[in-house]
Structure 1
Amino acid sequence: EYIWDDEYVDNATIRAEVSRLKKSLKEDFIQNIRALGYMIDIPRL
């Protein structure tokens, strides 16, 4: 809700934005959790 200021956003838009973000990262920090959504998993240093 903070990203799109309470505007309705469909699943295709979210998938496209997550895909674009995943491509821009050097490592695969964003995981798809089936039937739930996405999770950011950043390992501790």
Structure 2
Amino acid sequence: MTRRTGWILALLMLGTLPGCAAVIVGAGGAVLADEVVEDREGGDGLF
């Protein structure tokens, strides 16, 4: 692997991190919402 290829791969990984973070935070919010629904409504919640 050349030095240029390494830089390109590093920049691609840095570019995709914010997208992954948004997915992880969104999934965490969905789990919290599910817990709230289960507490209020009883039963199985959203999932």
Q: What TM bracket, shorter-length normalisation? A: 0.3 to 0.5
Which structure has greater strand proportion? 1
Give the structure-2-normalised TM-score.
Answer: 0.37
* Greater helix content: 2
